């Protein structure tokens, strides 16, 4: 069973992560937000790819579900913290953290 304190501790241990308010939630971000903690500290929304979201929701439906509406179709996934042990939460946060990293700039073509 994980808690909001576990989420905060794990997220802040990921390289470059900062914590800041985001509307009524707490956001964790590097270049982009990759996780938000609900005000009740019971759930977090994680940025996953669609395939990652599908896998998590199929293998652990008690712990993961797509965020309703278009956000869910973009990979945002609600994680129920109490349904995850710290190792599972760490794996999910690391997966989301990778989606928050800066994107590589496009390569410039040089004229020859």
Look up the CATH number of the domain holding residue 29.
Answer: 3.90.1150.30
Q: Does 19 fall in a domain?
A: yes
Chain length of the chain: 112
Q: Does 110 fall in a domain?
A: no
> Would you state the pLDDT for residue 112?
63
Q: First-to-last CA distance in the chain?
A: 59
Q: Does 109 fall in a domain?
A: no
pLDDT digits (tens, 9 = 90+) for 56-72: 999 999 999 999 999 99
pLDDT digits (tens, 9 = 90+) for 21-46: 999 999 999 999 999 999 999 999 99
> Would you state the pLDDT for residue 87?
98
Q: Does 112 fall in a domain?
A: no
Predicted confidence (pLDDT) at residue 79 exceeds the cutoff of 90:
yes
């Amino acid at each position: 069973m994980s808690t909001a304190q576990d989420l905060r501790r794990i997220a802040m241990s990921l390289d470059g992560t900062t914590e800041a308010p985001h509307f009524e939630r707490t956001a964790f971000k590097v270049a982009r937000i990759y996780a938000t903690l609900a005000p009740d500290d019971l759930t977090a929304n994680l940025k996953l790819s669609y395939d990652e979201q599908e896998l998590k929701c199929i293998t652990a439906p008690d712990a993961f579900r797509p965020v309703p509406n278009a956000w869910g179709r973009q990979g945002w996934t609600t994680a129920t913290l109490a349904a995850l042990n710290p190792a599972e939460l760490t794996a999910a946060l690391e997966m989301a953290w990778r989606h928050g990293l800066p994107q590589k700039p496009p390569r410039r073509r040089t004229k020859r």
